[in-house]
Amino acid sequence: MKKLFVAFLAFLVVLILKTTAIEPKNDFDCLKAKFSLVSCVGYLTDIVDKPPIACCDAIAGVKSAAPTKADRVAACECLTTVASQFPNLDEARIVSLPKVCGVDIGFPISKQMNCSSIP
């Protein structure tokens, strides 16, 4: 009986470890990204000609906050949601923002991103 219990316990531990290893961990903080990206609104709505330094810092922050694929997908979903909440954002400026800021965030951004295709 004791051997059966130990074997069952070992099975549970393996199952838990395997499940944890399969589930991608997502540490991307969408709320923090939203607050930091507020500084980009003037540029993205054609009010100012170039993004302020705080905006470019926010874009760099998105890159550093999304080192894994799961984080990049979460970032993509977050940015897509934010963009959909502001219908007057200039799509061309959204697409070019990382390049204008000199930051490669690891995936293209737009209002209609396909987040499932993020590398």
- pTM for this predicted structure: 0.74
Q: What is the pLDDT of residues 54-110, one digit of tens each?
A: 999 999 999 999 999 999 999 999 998 888 888 899 999 999 999 999 999 988 888
> Per CATH, is 26-117 categorized as 3.40.50.620?
no
CA dist 27 → 3, 57, 86 (Å): 39, 19, 25
pLDDT confidence band for 112 (50 / 70 / 90): confident
Cβ(94)–Cβ(109) under 8 Å?
A: yes
- Sorted by where each begins, the domain ranges of the chain are 26-117
Helix (H, G, I), strand (E, B) or coil at 50: coil
Cβ(25)–Cβ(68) under 8 Å?
A: yes
